Amino acid sequence: MTIFLQGLIFGVAYIAPIGMQNLFVVSTAIEQPIKRAFKVALIVIAFDISLALACFYGMGKLLQSTTWLELLVLLVGGLLVIYIGLQLLRQKNVTMETTNEQFSYKLAILTAFSVAWLNPQALVDGSVLLGAFRVTLADNVAHLFIIGVMVASFVWFISITGLVSKFKHLVSPKILLWINRICGGIIILYGIKLLVNFVQKL
């Protein structure tokens, strides 16, 4: 049980800082009906957990040891992240209850995948942190730690989705539009950083 709690605490501490996943989940919770927001949160959780499992079992080492793969992730990730940011900046108006015609699960899945798996820094940093814990754990209890991390992901994203959805009436469409634009600017800067890293590694 102690190993599980360590994983749970680590998971929350690792996910909680404001990042692209949190920005995406919060924005969705404000803009979409609560049922749809929870569905998107589950998509984010699925990619977040799959990334944690990959890091725990060595994906970061593969990325570091395979130059062409790292370059590909940096290039594709940078371009895709910039595209997502530009879409947010180009928004002219935002409604609090988006219609089905305005919402796309395909785009939601692509965005959730991008902010997790096309983030080389998350892959490497996650592998270093999770890998460090992995080598300190006996094989017969290592699974308890990563289960704790996965539970933390589920609890965190579901909780912030619920809280933001409950209090989103305090946020006007105009405020949301500016939140999205700010998020878009941050995301674009992040994408540029990935492309700069790509050029530096060439």
Report the pLDDT value the prediction gives residue 40, as an integer from 0 to 100: 94
Give residue for tokens 């690792």.
Answer: 14
Say yes or no to pLDDT of 192 above 70.
Answer: yes
Cβ within 8 Å of residue 191, ≥6 positions away: 77, 78, 79, 80, 81, 82, 83, 84, 85
Reported as a single tens digit per residue, the pLDDT across 111-121 is 888 888 877 66
Report which of 140, 24, 146 is spatially closest to residue 88, judged by C-alpha positions. Answer: 24
Query: For the chain, what percent of residues have pLDDT higher than 90?
Result: 16
Say yes or no to pLDDT of 100 above 50.
Answer: no
Say yes or no to pLDDT of 97 above 70.
Answer: no
Please provide the average confidence, as pLDDT, over all residues in the chain.
Answer: 79
34 residue type, one letter = I
Start-end of H helices in 16-119: 20-31, 34-56, 59-65, 67-89, 105-117
Report the pLDDT value the prediction gives residue 99, as an integer from 0 to 100: 44
Q: Are the CB atoms for 41 and 154 separated by under 8 Å?
A: no
Reported as a single tens digit per residue, the pLDDT across 143-189 is 888 899 999 999 999 999 999 888 877 766 677 677 777 777 877 88
Domain count within the chain:
1
Domain containing 142 equals 2-201
Give residue for tokens 């879409």.
Answer: 87
The pTM score is: 0.71
First to last CA, the chain: 46
Q: Are the CB atoms for 52 and 150 separated by under 8 Å?
A: yes
State how far the Cα of 60 lies from the Cα of 64, in Å rounded to an integer: 6
